[in-house]
């Protein structure tokens, strides 16, 4: 009988395998089997079985393929075509609501997190919830979301107060205390990184709880925000579009 940890690892491996298949199918639209075989090192016969759904990649090959395929698929171009920059900021609705693109984005981030220590995933905006859910299920990690509304009783949440630089507007974000209990590494997911003050405030709260930020995964960010959020504050910064 499998233990709980073995079951989690099995689900994680299966999730990675299916993401590899999605990436292969994407590449097959612009490459023939022979070219794909040369690019990935997978025999044509095996590649055919993968893409036709007769079998799935397993074992050590999965992580290698995931990293290699995310290099070959131009995720940035695919996402950029869906992101709109309007008067109210970035609109990433078309990207994050498309299940196919969400799977590609998840694979993109997962391949970059393979060497990272992640204990908990925390979404800080609504698009970030979709990312946290997808990554949490794939990596087998607990995921939580923060809210600008006080959804929890005082004893069940921590308030994060910050000020928007240019306008001086004061804001509050509520984080469930359970998200901070691990006192280990927290990965932040966000649709758009535009206010560095928020992430600096989260860094302070997580540090005070005994943990640290291992990184940020976001669809888009302003170049200014990325420059201000140094790795010693937020860990590794994985952003698809820096605009």
| 28: alpha, beta or left? (left if phi > 0; alpha if psi -120 to 50) | alpha
pLDDT greater than 50 at residue 81: yes
User: Which of 2-6, 150-154, 185-189 is the least confident region?
Assistant: 2-6
Q: By the 8 A CB rule, do 67 and 57 touch?
A: no
**In the structure, what pLDDT confidence band is assigned to residue 242 with cuts at 50, 70 and 90?**
confident
* Three-state DSSP class for residue 26: helix
- What's the mean pLDDT when you consider all of the chain? 87
Quote the percentage of the chain above a pLDDT of 90: 43
69 touches 75 (CB < 8 A): no
Residue 175: which pLDDT band, with cuts at 50, 70 and 90?
Answer: very high
Report in angstroms the alpha-carbon separations of 82 from 24, 85, 106, 151, 203.
Answer: 21, 10, 16, 31, 30
**Within a 10 A sphere around the Cβ of 88, how many other Cβ atoms?**
6
Mean pLDDT throughout 147-164? 93
Dump pLDDT digits (tens) for 11-63: 556 777 877 888 888 888 888 999 999 988 889 999 999 888 888 888 778 88
- Taking only the tens place, the pLDDT of each residue in 96-142 is 888 888 888 988 898 888 778 899 999 999 999 999 999 998 888 99
242: β partners: 221
CA–CA separation, 107 vs 17, rounded Å?
10
Tokens of 129: 């919830």
Topology (CATH) of 79-242: Rossmann fold (3.40.50)
Q: What is the rounded CA–CA span in Å between residue 49 and residue 97?
A: 30
Do 213 and 186 form a contact (C-beta atoms < 8 A)? yes
pTM attached to this predicted model = 0.84
Report phi then psi at 200, rounded to 5. Answer: -65, -40
The DSSP letter of residue 82 is T
Q: Measure the CA–CA gap between 64 and 243, rounded to whole angstroms.
A: 30
pLDDT given at position 3: 57
What is the spatial distance between Cα 145 and Cα 104, in angstroms, rounded to a whole number?
22
Where in the chain do CATH 3.40.50.2020 domains reside? 79-242
Provide CB contacts within 8 A for 56, sequence distance 6+: 14, 17, 18, 20, 21, 50
Question: What integer pLDDT is reported at residue 8 of this predicted model?
Answer: 44
**Percent residues over pLDDT 70 in the chain:** 93
């Amino acid at each position: 009988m499998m233990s709980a940890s073995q079951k989690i690892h099995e689900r994680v491996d299966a999730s990675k395998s299916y993401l590899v298949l999605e990436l292969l199918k994407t590449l097959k639209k612009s490459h023939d089997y022979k070219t794909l075989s040369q690019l990935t090192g997978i025999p044509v016969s095996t590649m055919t079985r993968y893409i036709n759904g007769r079998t799935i990649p397993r074992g050590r090959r999965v992580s290698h393929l995931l990293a290699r395929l995310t290099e070959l698929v131009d995720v940035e171009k695919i996402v950029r075509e869906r992101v709109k920059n309007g008067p109210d900021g970035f609109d990433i609705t078309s990207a994050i609501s498309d299940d196919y693109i969400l799977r590609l984005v998840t694979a993109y981030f997962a391949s970059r997190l393979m060497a990272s220590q992640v204990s908990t995933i925390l979404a800080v905006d609504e698009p970030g919830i979709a990312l946290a859910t997808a990554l949490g299920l794939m990596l087998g990690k607990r995921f939580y979301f923060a809210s600008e509304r006080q959804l929890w009783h005082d004893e069940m949440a921590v308030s994060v107060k910050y000020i928007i630089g240019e306008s001086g507007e004061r804001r509050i974000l509520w984080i469930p205390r359970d998200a901070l209990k691990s006192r280990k590494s927290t990965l932040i997911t966000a649709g758009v990184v535009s206010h560095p003050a928020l992430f600096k405030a989260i860094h302070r709260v997580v540090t005070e709880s005994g943990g640290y930020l291992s990184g940020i995964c976001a669809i888009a960010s302003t170049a200014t925000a990325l420059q201000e959020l140094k790795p010693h504050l937020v860990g590794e910064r994985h952003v698809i579009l820096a605009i």
